[in-house]
Amino acid sequence: MSIKSLQLLRNKDCNLWTSALEILKKILKENKIGIRLEVILIEDDEMAKKYKFFGSPQININNADIDPDSKKMTSYHESGCRIYIWKNNVYEGPPKEMIEAALNQVM
């Protein structure tokens, strides 16, 4: 399997996406992964449903959310910041280890 698309989804209400973007760029550089990163602004609930967006920030690899818990989520909406739970810890954005684990699964 390989990385065909990489997206960082965000909304206008939550500025936490900038930290996620910096972490993601650093991981890509450290691992010499040359993929185009697309930053997408989710503007309304219709767009949220299209992208299966649960809150900002969200990282998708090959159109799939990197958060293992996302499989349980069914409420798509444009507004709000999202929290992440990884290894029993709470984060305001996807932690570096979660991003690396998701990338390793597709490489």
pLDDT at res. 22: 97
- The per-residue pLDDT for range 25-78, each reduced to its tens digit, is 999 999 999 999 999 999 999 999 999 999 999 999 999 999 998 888 777 888
Upstream peptide bond of 57 is cis (omega within 30 degrees of 0): yes
Alpha carbon distance 9, 66 (integer Å): 12
pLDDT in the model for residue 7: 98
- State residue 94's pLDDT score: 96
Q: For residues 15 and 80, is the Cβ–Cβ distance under 8 A?
A: no
DSSP structure class, residue 64: E
**Could you tell me the domains of the chain?**
6-106 (3.40.30)
